[in-house]
Structure 1
Amino acid sequence: MQIDGTSALVTGGASGLGLATARRIVEHGGRVVIADISEEQGAKAVAELGSAATFVVADITDEAALAEALDAAEQLGPLRAVVHCAGRGGDRTRIIGKDRTPGALDTFTEVVRINLIGTYNVLRLSASRIAANEELDDGDRGAIVLTASVAAFDGQIGQTSYSASKAGVHGLTLVAARDLASWQIRVNTIAPGVMDTPMLGRLREDIRDGLAASVPHPKRLGQPADFARLAVDMLENPYLNGQTVRLDGAIRMAPR
């Protein structure tokens, strides 16, 4: 499957990993709909990417908003590519506090709602649209890339909500690939490590430097362009299916 001449949906595409992915899709000759909750960032992204990009305000847990984004993508050309980057971090919350007070349930629920239930919502709605495509010569109708995290495998203390939500994304990847195989739709997932995104940009410089130094090789933070390159490779490689690929410079996170 080639990006050139097709349309793509990128959730969370107005900044960070999503914007880098949208940029690379356009560079490969595709047209892209950016679905994001930030109108200001969405307008900036479209101004940068030009006529090949369209912005739609969409909360990934909102079926009607996602339907609007998918409609917009289908108007640009055959929708064959979806890269789901939207999500949120989790507050550092211990299961029980020092005084044995249980951690708040509502914060855990909210992170899982956005990161896991939101992912499933994007997956099911986009797969329904892609399934209507004609089969390509390589056997694909389309491909979907999801985003997990290395926290799915080695989450740190206090990361219960985030780790659980991202482990859920990893867990559904192979099942989704098998489930959608009869429709010739591939599903893969990227599990990024410490990436230089707006979320990480809020940290102090010394903390960022320490994180970069903890990466075995290359000794730097991951760049959004690294993610985008892998995402497009996953979309275009016809034999890559059902995989979660760590993009982390071989880092393994410490307990804290």
Structure 2
Amino acid sequence: MAKIKPEYGIFKTSIPYARFGEGEKILLLLFGGPGNEVPKGFIFNTMAKGLNPFVEEYTIYVVTRKSGLHEGYTTKDMSDDYAEMIRDEFGGKVNLIIGISYGGIIAQHFAADHHELFDHIVIAMAAHKISEEGKQIDTKFAELLSEGNIKSAYVTIADALYPSSFKRTFLKGLLWLAGSFAHKPESKTYSQDVVIEAKAEVGHDSINSLKKISVPVLILCGDKDFYFPSEYVKEMDRLINNSTLKFYENKGHEIIGDSRFAEDIFEFIKKKELGKN
């Protein structure tokens, strides 16, 4: 696989993006958080490997959240920001939305409130409730980022990404190095925004939105996810009227690199489109 070289930019709505891929269709990947820095370097390359199956058919935009958030901003507000972005930048419609982790909790509101703006939607590595331990880690992560302590912030989340194993220990070392070379956030309001995002995560409440969803939704999650325990994911699946849930056995909060991730999304799209005919 040739190394992917993304183009970086910021939309008029102040939402930053990384763009890559060659296809005519548009894939929006709502990236994790808290924090609105688009992935670069090691973090981007790790994510991009899992998205490689999409690059011929889709142009991919990895998006985070806008700058200048005010106190009390919610995940529902962020969903509305994405809706404005799609109307302004993509003519009011995209082909595929994949919300991962923090992006996945926002996607819950988006599927309910803005279904006319996309053809297909996937909620990955997310549920409508977050474990208390996950909230604590992300709050600490946001505080460290706000203080400019990027290396310690990156290492903080290693325990949440993988079940206990040598791989997790190895990842801590990689994340420490990645933090050493990480770019300083460019947004002037980043220190405030990342803390506000963390507070929005802790206060996330999408139960009413989930009950309103009328379109098919694919849910993908590891059954050992630290942030989103399987019982929470199953409960979310029951609350959505037309959802398909797939668990990845013995996987934690990092499934985008699993070969089944892209395969399951393509299968979901194919079945949905065949159902229209």
Q: Classify the TM-score, shorter chain.
A: 0.3 to 0.5
The TM-score with structure 2 as length reference comes to 0.37
